[in-house]
């Protein structure tokens, strides 16, 4: 009889401990789930943002925070594009210099590690021409002078300066303008 009484007391203590733990977890969940700020957020699981038909978006009724476009100048290179050197191109009468690319004169000659001479100026300009052709380019620009802009561009999400600077190591032998 005494064993049964002790088991009932032990069972009661375990139940009280479980109720206390579950109660504390519920209270903690309530504290965490309560909104701290009043900023509206999109809930991907609510049906409010997903539709099956095109919907006109009225920006005055959309309180969501919007980031400005980091690359507002966008273009696809066509016949109007002229590559001047490996870091400079012109389009529609404006000249653009790509930031972060060391300029190489178009007629510069270089030597590779084995001593072979290369037309590195022409090759570097060709690399820029290839990078710009048949691609959608996004740029941020800063006007340096009328019709002259310093740009930071990307092609398909990849930094254009990084692509142009990723060339084999060569040494400049001669530079001609």
Say yes or no: 160 and 96 in one domain. yes
Q: Is pLDDT of 85 > 70?
A: yes
Say yes or no: 78 and 9 in one domain. no
Domain range holding 97? 73-174
d(CA 106, CA 88): 11
d(CA 125, CA 59): 43
**Residue 138 sits in a domain of what CATH number?**
2.40.50
Res 107: pLDDT: 87
39-77 pLDDT, tens digit per residue, is 556 565 555 666 788 877 777 877 777 788 899 999 988
Look at residue 114 and tell me if it is in a domain: yes
Look at residue 122 and tell me if it is in a domain: yes
Report the number of distinct structural domains present in the chain: 2
Say yes or no: 83 and 140 in one domain. yes
Look at residue 164 and tell me if it is in a domain: yes
Look at residue 108 and tell me if it is in a domain: yes
Res 100: pLDDT: 92
Quick one: pLDDT band at residue 82, thresholds 50, 70, 90?
Answer: very high
Q: Is pLDDT of 119 > 80?
A: yes
Say yes or no: 90 and 168 in one domain. yes
Q: What is the pTM assigned to this prediction?
A: 0.59
């Amino acid at each position: 009889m005494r064993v049964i009484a002790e088991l009932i007391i032990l069972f009661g203590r375990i139940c009280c401990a479980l109720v206390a733990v579950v109660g504390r977890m519920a209270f903690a969940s309530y504290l965490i789930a309560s909104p701290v700020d009043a900023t509206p957020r999109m809930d991907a699981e609510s049906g409010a943002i997903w539709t099956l038909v095109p919907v006109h978006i009225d920006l005055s009724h959309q309180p969501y925070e919007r980031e400005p476009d980091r690359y507002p100048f966008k273009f696809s290179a066509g016949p109007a594009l002229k590559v001047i050197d490996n870091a400079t191109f012109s389009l529609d009468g404006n000249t653009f210099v790509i930031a972060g690319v060391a300029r190489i004169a178009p007629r510069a000659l270089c030597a590779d590690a084995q001593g072979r001479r290369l037309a590195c100026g022409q090759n570097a300009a060709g690399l820029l021409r290839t990078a710009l052709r048949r691609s959608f380019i996004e740029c941020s620009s800063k006007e340096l002078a009328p019709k002259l802009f310093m740009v930071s561009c990307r092609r398909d999400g990849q930094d254009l300066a990084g692509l142009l600077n990723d060339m084999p190591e060569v040494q400049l032998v001669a530079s001609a303008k």
